[in-house]
Amino acid sequence: MSAIAFTSPFEFLPGDSAKGLLLVADHARRALPDHYGTLGIPATELERHIAYDIGVEAVTRILAAKLHVPAILCGFSRLLIDPNRGLDDPTLVRQLYDGTIIPGNYPLSAAERQTRIDCYYLPYHRALASAAKEVEDATGQAPVLISIHSFTPFLLGRWRPWEVGVLWDRDDRAAGPLIEMLRAQGDLTVGDNEPYDGSYPGDTMHTHATMRGFPYALIEIRQDLIADEAGAAAWAEKLAPMLEAINARPDMHRTMHFGSRNDEP
């Protein structure tokens, strides 16, 4: 796998904002700015799931083109700073991930942490917020946010049996129908808030959807299924009509505040 050059904290894929749907890919790339090198790890480690969500960039690009909707792709590796974490999350900048020590992240000075926040994390989130507002302004209604992720088949030596999972918090307007459609395929093991819990304060969907009252779903596809272009295209083909149907539901584009499970005392 060739090196991926860093160009920007994000890439915006233009589309028809009036369709009311925005795709988000937090972990699309494994790129690092040149002056960080490889953060002290072998370059081969940057090809693993610890550096990015394998297959997600291709799935998101194909989906955006099929649906003619805008998308935001994060432009840097989550090993630099994880855009899908709150600023107070201890895993915002990982020092150890699935058995790999990240020397370039330890020790990390307060100044360096702030540099990564200012130069990478915040520009990405500002771009995402701007894209969501463009969709909201174009429709006069709440945008539907669909976040695309992928997960490793094995984590800490344990097999994860799902082909796909859908994560959500309390607002299941998009997630619920999507889970039903995926299960109706008949040949998929579909995780409901698996392999992760969808309620994380400060993560991307919490910040840009839950806190705004926007409908959303976070899709996790097992990485071995989308590691090549054919697999990515097949999954985009599978998901496109489902997302189109969900986006077309008349009750989908209301701003509704359900709160988060983590808001409870």
Domains and CATH numbers, the chain: 10-251 (3.40.630.40)
Q: SS3 of 123, please?
A: helix
Q: Comparing 74-88, 145-159, 177-191, which segment has the lowest mean pLDDT?
A: 145-159
Could you tell me whether strands 21-25 and 144-151 are parallel, antiparallel, or unpaired per DSSP bridges? parallel
**252, exposed or middle or buried, with CB in 10 Å at 0-12, 13-18, 19+?**
buried
User: How far is residue 16's CA from residue 22's CA, in Å, rounded to a whole number?
Assistant: 10
How many helices and strands (H and E) does the chain possess? Answer: 6, 11
Residue of 212, 202, 168, 170 whose CA lies nearest to 82: 202
Interhelix angle 229-248/175-183, nearest 10 degrees:
130
pLDDT band at 157 (very low <50, low <70, confident <90, very high): confident
* Per-residue pLDDT tens digits for 64-112: 999 999 999 999 999 999 999 999 999 999 999 988 999 999 999 999 9
Mean pLDDT, rounded, for 19-32: 98
